Structure 1
Amino acid sequence: MRVDEQIGGGAGRPEIAGSASALVAASDLSPACAPELIAEVEAARSYRLRARSANTLRAYASDWRQFQDWCWGRGLEPLPALPEVVATYLASLSRAGRADSTVTRHLAAITWQHRHDGLPPPTARDTHQLIADTLSGIRREQRARPTRKKAAIGAKDLAAMIGKADGLGTRAVRDRAILALGLAAALRRSELVALQLADVQLVEQGLTVYVRHSKTDQEGEGATIAVPVGKVLRPVAHLNAWLAIRGGEPGPLFTRIGTKGEYTAEAMSDRSVARLVKRYARLQGLDPAMMAGHSLRAGFLTEAARTRASPAKMQEVSRHKSLKVLLGYVRSAERFDEHAGAGFL
């Protein structure tokens, strides 16, 4: 079974029933106990699938398909894959300009697929450390390259971008709400598209947003974020305008808009958020190549640091596990404050 076939559960599929039956046959249980064991085996498989988030499994599915296509296009066997094949594939990804984090995720997807199919992963059979050395070399090379981090979008620029989403059309109203809430709640793009209607509650001071799980919360403990009404970006007003169109049906908070501009109940993809940000950045005269979905989250942190918000209060919204990353935004915003050369330069 492939990674993409795992998403959405697994009870009742033939391969699950087969593995359960094999376990029953190998045991000394009486036939009367067999149904209970089968149910327990299915529960164990279900729990294993939940060890990875749905977003991670989707990414693994896409990465695995790309690896298969690469192998088949070169007459190589993807399963089981030789360590030499995997090392060469990782090198090809780096040559294509993929970030080392993306290359590492592709390796994780290949490892996941082998283990799921009951095969030792290539890394376990790599006696000469070909994969590890290749990955280390990729990381070392990429560290030596000049990097262009995605820029943060400040509140002034975002307000202007929101203004570019002009009119009362369904798409414009939705886009204004996404841009405003994305920055106001310091949300990752994956978190934005994962929000359900029930995750947003209007309160007297503004609204609360419940993030069920995130990149740094794989166990799904969840976090509630407070979003003030606001005077510049007005996230609550923009969200209310969208809700008036969306209606009160349960489901994704932000949905895809049809080709004719009509409302649909289909959830957006996280990539569509990145495209949305780039589109309005371009309209505002900003460099879209320097913008991404993360620019909204980075914008909140940069603005919060610039206005002297405390790191503790910033962390309440951003949910950073490590203050080291968070303080990077603070240092960036304060770089010219009380500069050592201000008195003589």
Structure 2
Amino acid sequence: MKSPITLFSTAFTLSVLLFSVISATQAANYQGTVIKLEPSFYYELNETETDGGAMDTMGNAPKPGVFNGDYGFGGPEVGGEGPLTVFSADDFEGIPVPGLGGTDNLAHYSNNSGHVTLGDGNLYGSSSITVAFFFKAGPAQGGDRLFTNNLSDPTKSFQVNVANDGLVLAVDPSQTGLNAERTLFMEDNSGPDRRLIQSDSGWFHVVASTFGSSGSERASNFKLWINGVDRTDNLQPKVTGWGIDTGLAKIGGRKADPANSTTHSGAQDEVAIWLDRVLTDKEALSLWEAAITEKKIPLVIEDVQLHLGKSSNAVTVTWNSRRGRVYGVYSTTNLQSGEWEELDDGIESEGESTSFRDEGIPLTDQKRFYKVMELE
């Protein structure tokens, strides 16, 4: 539906009036909510190339995370499709999570052969800690690490793993059982919840936290939310043991070798880490609510610049845009005619905002109208 909006006029020789076609676009509702909660680190994992590394949105990491592996066809991938739905036991199609941004949102795929090395694990450890992320389920080989700070100190160590019995939280690499780890069981605690290692399950949203002054205390203080549901009562101790390696914090792996059996078989997205902080139930739930809630924003022209010349004029039009989209810009000197001249229908998005310059406007033009449309 076309909804004209006058955005700019000028008293120069040429008056420029701007019209934009309003279209439903998905904003990054989830990402915005994470940022408002001020995590210590936030890796959105939207990279499409590995060269620049994995960026910390909060700007607190001393350097970008390193993509460790042979990235490309048949191996680990950057720029893969992010979650559009997450697992639901009641609906085979899953629960939609439009708040992540739809197809604009991208993810990191470990695929058993690549992970992200964040840096010195000491920078990613604290006695109180919360980690939130999405992960795409896959079969576990040797205790796949979704997140680990690879620290030996039980007062700071924190690992979120998936193994043969599903999801595991661990805080003490030197111990097993009650004082060190918990495995997620089914809602009725009848046995391990292995849905989190089944490829058909798709994506899950996780918020995991703990606090305490010792390994045993921290193991007893685990808190776990899965897809907006508090599953803490389903955390049960098992005697397995969860080792560390390298001393480097990682997403999707544990050891230096990216093809090690502890590398995750699936994918990860939106990894946020809060140090010295346990999110409240309300805060944890707010992340889930943001994920399942679509926030629509209009396509609007944000700025216009008139460039006066001796033989002709020019106009630069700038609008809010979405990554990966294509836009068209049209103009007319007579709105009543209903005829719009197509200036360009193949303008690729430049990111959050995109500009187009219309050259060669006759000096005789007294008024010109513009509109922008998202085409694909």
More helix by share: 1
**TM-score (norm. length: structure 1):** 0.20
Q: With CA pairs under 8 Å and 6+ residues apart, which has the higher RCO, 1 or 2?
A: 2
More strand by share: 2
